Amino acid sequence: MTPSDTSPKIARLALSTRSIAEVPAQAAKAAELLSMRGPGFSLRLDEATCIAMQMRLVHYPAGAKLFVAGDHTNTSYMLLILEGDVSVDTGVFVGAGKVDISVIGAGALIGELALLDGSPRSASCTAITPVIAAALSAGGLQRLLEQHPMVAAKLAIYIARSAGDRLRSLSEQLRMYDQLTASLQEEVNQLRASTAK
Amino acid sequence: MTPSDTSPKIARLALSTRSIAEVPAQAAKAAELLSMRGPGFSLRLDEATCIAMQMRLVHYPAGAKLFVAGDHTNTSYMLLILEGDVSVDTGVFVGAGKVDISVIGAGALIGELALLDGSPRSASCTAITPVIAAALSAGGLQRLLEQHPMVAAKLAIYIARSAGDRLRSLSEQLRMYDQLTASLQEEVNQLRASTAK
């Protein structure tokens, strides 16, 4: 094992991590969750198992910060949630002082884009319940590329698809904002007109 | 060549397509544009050339629709712009009746997410000038996966990174809408208060 396998942050937050291969039931769960994805270029269970074998098991207590928005250190891993609930806070307000927070659970992938491009974390993720996750580091991805390139390709396609899903969801939010600002603008215009009378 | 190499739409719009390998200068350009990307997991020039070899050269006259938003047919290819300008219209209004339109040029990749997941085209893309593009079909990607899986993996990482860039840009737009709606809401409140007086 090289030091890059476990980022300091995972180690600090989770107290200890170990190879998921040491816990076969969790390795099987990770593989099953990764293989449950759409048509074309999908990960077969044996391919998903290859990926799981490069992962490390991480436990977070309730309340732990998995990622902090804007953090540009320790961006070199992604997490597949195996058990528990995680709140994702993008820092975007959605009107009336409410912040856009979603809750995700088993099967969700977080931090996957930062793993690929080293960009800062885009959202803060907090464990609502105790959370068990499978972490794939940049080192793990590199080994996967070298040892099982076809599987690495399908994993990258899987990640690109997740990003596509999120792009569609954000575009939908933008359309809603569109309508909201248009109706607010109209109200402003009407109020101005009636004030001017 | 199998029929899946060229979608009916490309053929219809572009009148003719041919393997980019027949035009070495354009093949070299496609490879160079693909290899000009960030740190880690990057495509080397020889790897980008592998991808280019699976591409087909497409010519669009000015005014041609490359993609139409919502189109769920002919989603099985992406385009790398080699020459010319393309307007990308997401259909999202950005206030004052203005629609969010950006102009992209050489090096830009469009339609890459639909290629991976078969989702409908998310934006309408129109050639502003005559456009030369390199098209990669699902069939081409499949051959790449089989013949050069490491290169396919890096291409998928490249696509995921592009999606990450766009996610960040959309998040930024959402934050701007946030501020816009907050200030409009405040104006409505103030106008209401003054009207009630």
Domain limits, chain A: 3-196
* CB contacts < 8 A (A, B): 165
Q: Is the CB of A99 inside 8 Å of chain B's CB atoms?
A: no
- Report the pLDDT value the prediction gives residue B77, as an integer from 0 to 100: 92
CA count, 13 A, side-chain hemisphere, A117 = 21
Q: What is the pTM of this model?
A: 0.80
How many residues belong to chain B?
197
Q: Please indicate whether, in this complex, the C-beta atoms of A119 and B156 are within 8 angstroms of each other.
A: no
- Consecutive 10-residue runs of chain A (197 residues): their mean pLDDT? 43 63 93 77 90 94 92 87 93 61 90 85 92 94 92 90 83 81 88 82
B25 vs B32, B104, B178, CA distance in Å? 11, 21, 47
Nearest CA in chain B to A41: B116
Q: Please indicate whether, in this complex, the C-beta atoms of A170 and B175 are within 8 angstroms of each other.
A: no
Shortest distance between the Cα of B109 and any Cα of chain A, in A, equals: 14
Chain A (30-89) residues lying within 8 Å, Cβ to Cβ, of chain B: 38-41
Chain B (164-183) residues lying within 8 Å, Cβ to Cβ, of chain A: 164, 166-168, 170-171, 173-175, 177-178, 180-182
pLDDT tens across B65-95, in order?
A: 999 988 888 778 999 999 999 999 876 665 5
When mean pLDDT is compared across B8-17, B57-66, B90-99, B121-130, the lowest value belongs to B8-17
Based on its alpha-carbon atoms, the radius of gyration of chain B, rounded to whole angstroms, reads: 20
Residues B33 and B79: beta-carbon distance below 8 Å: no
Nearest CA in chain B to A142: B41
Q: Please indicate whether, in this complex, the C-beta atoms of B156 and A161 are within 8 angstroms of each other.
A: no
Q: For domain A3-196, give the CATH superfamily.
A: Jelly Rolls (2.60.120.10)
DSSP H or E run through A127: strand A124-127
- What 3-state class would DSSP assign to B92? strand
In the structure encoding, which two tokens stand for residue A128, read together?
């609502």
Of B153, B180, B192, the CB nearest to A153: B153
Strand order in the sheet with B124-127: B65-67, B124-127, B86-93, B99-104
The Cβ of residue A4 has, within 10 Å, a number of other Cβ atoms equal to 13
What b/e sequence results for B25-47 when a residue is b if at least 16 CB atoms lie within 10 Å of its CB, and e otherwise?
A: ebbebbbbbbbebeeebbbeeeb
DSSP strand pairing (B77-83 vs B131-137): antiparallel
Choose among A174, A170, A122, A171: nearest CA to B181: A174
**B3-172 sits in which CATH class?**
mainly beta
ipTM of this predicted complex? 0.78
The Cβ of residue B149 has, within 10 Å, a number of other Cβ atoms equal to 18
pLDDT tens across B163-196, in order?
A: 888 888 888 888 788 788 888 889 989 988 887 7
Confidence of residue B132 (pLDDT cuts 50, 70, 90): very high
